[in-house]
Structure formats: C-alpha cells, structure tokens
C-alpha cells in the first residue's frame, strides 16, 4: 500500500502535485491502471486508480473514500524547540508515526531557539504521514509561551506540564485520561522558568512525571505520545 498526500480529494478526479507526481511515476514507476491511496491528512483515506502517469502530472480517479476514525484520546504536545533542530525534526517524524493531533513549538524564556522552519517541518510530517499510512496530519504552529498559555485557558482539555525538577508529582501513565484532548507542555533544555511554571499552575496545569529517567526534551515529548497511544489501545 502506497499513500500519497493531497489536500483536496473530494472531487472524483485528482491531479497530484508535481512533487507527488514525480514520486509516484518516476521514483515508484507507477503506471496507468495502478492503484494508489491518497490522504488529505484530515482523516480521509481514498483509494484511486492512475489514469494519467507523467512525471510532472499524475492524474488519478478516486474509487472510494474512507473516513479514518479519530482517536478517543487526542494529544496536543506543546514543546520548546531544541537548539539542535534535528532533534525536533526527529520528534515530528516519530510522533506522526506513533500518533499526535497537534504540535505547538512554544518559545520560552530559556529557549535556545526562537525560529522554526515550519515549511521544512511540514514536509517531514507529510513524509511520515505517507510512510506510516495514516490519514491524520497534526496541526503545527510556532507560538510564544505566554500567548499560548492565555489561549489554553479557553480550551476544555486535560492539561499537564512536565519539567525536570518536579519531585513528588505523579506519573503521567497513572493518570486517568478521559476521552477528548490532552495538552502536554514540555520545557526547553534549560527547563521552564519559575514564572512559566507558576503561570501553568495558575491555569490549572497538573505537574506530572514522564518516567523516572532524565529524558531529553524531544524524548520526553515522544514518551508522552507513546503513553497516549497506549491509553488509546489499552483494553476497556
């Protein structure tokens, strides 16, 4: 099964983007009559037959569409971008594979990086989407911590913050997560500032631990994806 990405697959005939066309016809050597799959990254997976196969413009006819069910527990990870961007790109790839609905790169007081190449991140997310054959591309944004936190006060969801020096807080895996959205804050390498932590407390964020190891920023972020993936697959 080979999955391609296209934002508009509602109409009966779809023209793949030049990039996807090249991948389909040149790299994968697909021909007229071959069956491929398309996703809009928005929950729809479509089966399609190739009607025109040129490297610049591959045209397909949609045979059937299927809506992939959303997860019961949906995860929004707000993480401070690491100094080394490779680590964030790795997190984006892996989190799309394992499952994530939204990623916010939050710029914190101790952030060692304030710029994120969203276009590049988007490309990485899309290729992970195709690779893992899922139909859900996470929403991705870059946003200032305080501004982000003010917005969260309007959102109804389970709110958690993981930071290094917390002592007696509970394990995230032991949390009873109800269906709906879970928002997890992961701090920068220099950790959250005191102000940032008290702001989170004042907004009702619960401090939790992600295992008893000291995890890097990107590892902590992915660990929270694994916890939510498991809670979604655990029986009963």
Return residues touching a copy of itself (CB under 8 A): 90, 94, 97-99, 131-134, 171, 173-174, 211-216, 219, 222-223, 226-227, 229-230, 233-235
Query: Please, what is the minimum distance in Å from the beta carbon of residue 78 to a copy of itself?
Result: 20
The Cα–Cα gap between 222 and 236 comes to 24
Query: Please, what is the minimum distance in Å from the beta carbon of residue 218 to a copy of itself?
Result: 9
| Sequence-distant (≥ 6) Cβ neighbours of residue 154 within 8 angstroms | none
Q: Phi and psi for 59 in degrees, rounded to 5? A: -110, 135
Query: Please, what is the minimum distance in Å from the beta carbon of residue 133 to a copy of itself?
Result: 5
Residues, the chain: 236
Q: Closest CB to a copy of itself among 21 and 231?
A: 231
Query: Please, what is the minimum distance in Å from the beta carbon of residue 63 to a copy of itself?
Result: 21
Q: Closest CB to a copy of itself among 3 and 116?
A: 3
Q: Closest CB to a copy of itself among 31 and 171?
A: 171
| Among the listed residues 45, 28, 47, 21, the one whose alpha carbon sits nearest the alpha carbon of residue 36 | 47
Q: Closest CB to a copy of itself among 64 and 213?
A: 213
- Strands of the 206-209 sheet, one edge to the other: 139-144, 102-107, 73-79, 180-186, 158-162, 206-209, 170-171
Please, are residues 175 and 128 in contact by the beta-carbon 8 Å criterion? Answer: no
Q: Closest CB to a copy of itself among 107 and 228?
A: 228
Helical (H) or strand (E) element with 39: strand 35-39
Query: Please, what is the minimum distance in Å from the beta carbon of residue 136 to a copy of itself?
Result: 10
Token pair of 65 as six digits = 């569409």
Query: Please, what is the minimum distance in Å from the beta carbon of residue 135 to a copy of itself?
Result: 11
Q: Closest CB to a copy of itself among 206 and 216?
A: 216
């Amino acid at each position: 099964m080979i999955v391609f990405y296209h934002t508009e697959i509602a109409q009966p005939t779809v023209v793949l983007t030049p990039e996807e066309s090249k991948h389909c016809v040149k790299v994968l050597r697909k021909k007229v009559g071959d069956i491929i799959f398309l996703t809009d990254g928005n929950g729809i997976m479509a089966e399609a037959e190739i009607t025109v196969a040129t490297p610049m413009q591959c045209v397909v006819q949609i045979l059937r569409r299927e809506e992939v069910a959303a997860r019961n527990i949906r995860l929004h990870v707000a993480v401070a971008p690491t100094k080394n961007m490779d680590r964030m790109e790795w997190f984006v790839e892996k989190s799309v594979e394992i499952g994530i609905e939204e990623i916010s790169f939050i710029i914190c007081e101790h952030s060692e990086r304030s710029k994120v190449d969203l276009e590049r991140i988007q490309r990485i997310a899309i290729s992970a989407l195709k690779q893992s054959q899922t139909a859900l591309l996470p929403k991705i944004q870059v946003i200032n911590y305080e501004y982000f936190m003010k917005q969260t006060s309007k959102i109804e969801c389970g709110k958690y913050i993981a930071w290094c020096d917390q002592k007696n807080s509970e394990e995230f895996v032991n949390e009873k997560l109800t269906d709906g959205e879970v928002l997890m804050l992961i701090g920068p390498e220099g950790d959250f500032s005191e102000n940032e932590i008290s702001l989170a407390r004042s907004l009702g964020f619960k401090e939790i631990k992600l295992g008893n190891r000291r995890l890097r920023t990107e590892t902590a972020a992915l660990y929270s994806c694994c916890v939510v993936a498991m809670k979604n697959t655990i029986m009963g």
